[in-house]
Structure 1
Amino acid sequence: MTDRARKTPRRAANDLTVLLRTVLGEDRFPVDVEALALEVSRNHEDPITAVKGVEIDGFEGMLRARRKKPGWQILYNTQPRYRGRERFTLAHEFGHYLLHRRPLTAEHYRDGELSDDYDFECLPLQSNDWKDAEREREEEADTFASFLLMPIDDYRNQIGGQEMTRDLLGHVTDRYGVSLLAATRKWIEFTDARAAMVVARDGFALWGRASTTAYKSGVFIRSGMPIPDGSVMAMGPTSQQAGGQRPTSLPDGIWAFSRGSEPVRELAFFSDRLGISVSLLQFDGRGGGADIEEEEPWDSYDQFIAGVRE
């Protein structure tokens, strides 16, 4: 398949969303990626014939070609066991199948076994070793997974222009069966609100992402920036009232960005298992100053996965 004929990740995911809506209606979440991949691939000469969980340290997922006859297997890591991450990995590998695989036919097995390397192995945060084409494929598979699991039109309907709270974010993660990180990042990518997310470890930002409107008003999260004293994230898990669902209002002078500091509402989450903390920052108004026009990257997530190993 030529690049011109190949579907974009978003189009491929949207086509499947239409299919699922037609067959299952609105009660189709969370998406059963395994069943979908097995059923859709049956229409090809080289279908996906198995989806298997494995427990291998340092392994994320793989789309593996069968060695004896045309077909594929999806393998995914079940250690640590976290269903939201597993579902995203399955969707990611299914994206490789639809977007990137070289279709296999009986001709590839004329010597009795597949000899060439057709596999896609996805290692966590190793993209500083990838070539540009490999990095692009990984980003496309992530985009496909995001749009398949969390269609924007449905996500918008769930949010309805509300302030993001702990309850609302919990509703979203439950509906789509995804991790908090995936659900938060998805909201940041499409919201019209001025908002940003910060992922940190040991008091420093690993990566961050700002909504388009937030970035244009000067909000940019740099990898390695120190988490400010006085922030909810810096004060730790006991900083918010027990059972508190709404963000904590903070005055200006705490979170500061390129255009200075302003009041912010901060909602923080803490994961001992992953050793990270996540803050969702929500701002009021447009912020001071004119919009940024220069071609600067608007988040540090891509910089993080491109240049940092975990």
Structure 2
Amino acid sequence: MESKFSALRWALEMTQFWKLALPDKRFPVDVEAIATEVSRARFPKDPLKGIEGGNLPGFEGALYPLGNPRDGWGIIYNNAGVAPGRKRFTIAHEFGHYLAHRHTLPPEGVKCDSKAIIRRDGAGIEKEADEFAAYLLMPYDDFKQHIPPSKKPSIDDLIACADRYGVSLIAATLRWLEYTERRAVFVVSRDGGALWAKSSEPAFKSGRFLRTAKETYMLPDAALAARDEFDSQGRATAIHPPGVWFPEETEEMTIRSKTYDLSLTLLFLPREFRYAAVIQSDLMDTFERMTSRS
């Protein structure tokens, strides 16, 4: 049975499948089991035949055809010094490509780099595969129960969600940023320079974002990550006066990732007004409730 479902529609389908299959052991999602079982049951003539890790210089994962003529597909993901959470997200991303895009891919398949998978900053089918992975692994309905849209989370709150869903702290933070009503900016840096940054919608609409695409954004001298002063757990917090990060008071929470030699910084800005974000998460919540009744 073939389908023209979008990647996001497939994510909703897989979420309902997993919820019904293992209601008491829903998280973290065993994406390898879902991918293998679903492909064999629904696409027996074009299944996923293997999911393997390897040392992949220059990219994070790939979906590639097997056989000539093709009689199946394989997924490979980078496992060289990579944490389990990143592996899970990469596999889910490639599974999204398999479900939604395999019939339109070039003969060699598709390779996906860190910009698409880690930063979730891809375009076209990469963006669609990212949305699939995020929704499958971290459904909005469940995430919002742990961190409501109006809540200002602590680092521990976000770590707890990362552990619950079996993903990286970066992936969990990016997911929270998609639906929060808070003005917040997430910054990933190394050696005093921001590699990339992401603002919540309320922050972005109020002009609070960092430009990192064309050149390195050097952190303010007073920034915790720039000072490299952390406690025994690799954490630091501070409230900065106007003019340090932005022209208004900014609360900074930073945690050091020794695994990837990165500093992860979350900046909170005052709530100037109540922001009711009408974004995709709300539409997906409604859609999920509708599909669960069907």
For Structure 1 versus Structure 2, the TM-score category normalised by the shorter chain is 0.7 to 0.9
Question: Of the two structures, which has the highest relative contact order with CA contacts closer than 8 Å and spacing of 6 or more?
Answer: 1
Residue of structure 1 aligned with 2:164, choices 167, 175, 191: 175
Match of 2:188, as an amino acid?
A: V
1:77: which partner in 2?
78
Query: One-letter code of the match for 2:136?
Result: L
How far off its partner does 1:157 sit?
Answer: 0.6
Q: Pick from 146, 153, 156: which aligns with 2:134?
A: 146
| Backbone CA RMSD of aligned residues | 2.7
Residue 250 of structure 1: aligned partner: 240
Distance 1:242 1:272 in 2: 13
Corresponding position of 2:147? 159
The answer as to 2:92 corresponding to 1:91 is yes
* 1:71-126, Cα deviation, whole Å (9 max, x unpaired): 1111111101310110011001101100100299xxxxxxxxxxx82422223349
CA separation of 1:178/1:49 partners in 2, compared to 1, >3 Å: closer, same or farther?
same
CA distance in 2, matches of 1:236, 1:71: 49
* Partner SS, residue 102 of structure 1: helix
In the TM superposition, what are the counterparts of 1:43-54 in structure 2 within 5 Å?
43-44=42-43, 45-54=45-54
State how far apart, in whole Å, the 2-side matches of 1:267 and 1:58 are.
Answer: 31
- The partner residue of 1:283 within 269, 283, 290 is 269
Q: Could you tell me how far apart the structure 1 residues matched to 2:73 and 2:256 are? A: 38
Please show how residues 211-250 of structure 1 align to structure 2 within 5 Å.
211-223=200-212, 224-238=216-230, 241-243=231-233, 247-250=237-240
Larger Rg: 1
Per the TM alignment, residue 6 of structure 1 is displaced from its structure 2 partner at its CA by 3.1
Per the TM alignment, residue 183 of structure 1 is displaced from its structure 2 partner at its CA by 0.8
Q: Distance in 2 between matches of 1:59 and 1:245?
A: 30
The structure-2 alpha-carbon separation of the partners of 1:231 and 1:271, relative to structure 1 and needing over 3 Å to count, comes to: same
For structure 2, list consecutive stretches of 5 or more residues without a partner in the other structure.
274-294
Write the distance in 2 (CA, Å) between the matches of 1:124 and 1:103: 22
d(CA) in 2 for partners of 1:190 and 1:278?
A: 19
Is the 2:151–2:182 Cα contact (8 Å) retained in structure 1? no
Report the TM-score when normalising by structure 2: 0.81
Find the partner of 1:14 among 9, 12, 15.
12
Contact 1:205 1:222 (8 Å CA) reproduced: no
CA contact (8 A) 2:116 2:127 kept: no
Letter in 1 for 2:269: F
Residue 85 of structure 1 aligns to a residue in which SS?
helix
1:275 Cα offset (Å): 2.8
**Is contact 2:234-2:255 (8 Å) kept?**
no
Q: Count matched residues.
A: 262
Quick one: structure 1 residues 248 and 192, their matched pair in 2 at CA, closer, same or farther if it must change by over 3 Å? same
SS at match of 1:101: helix
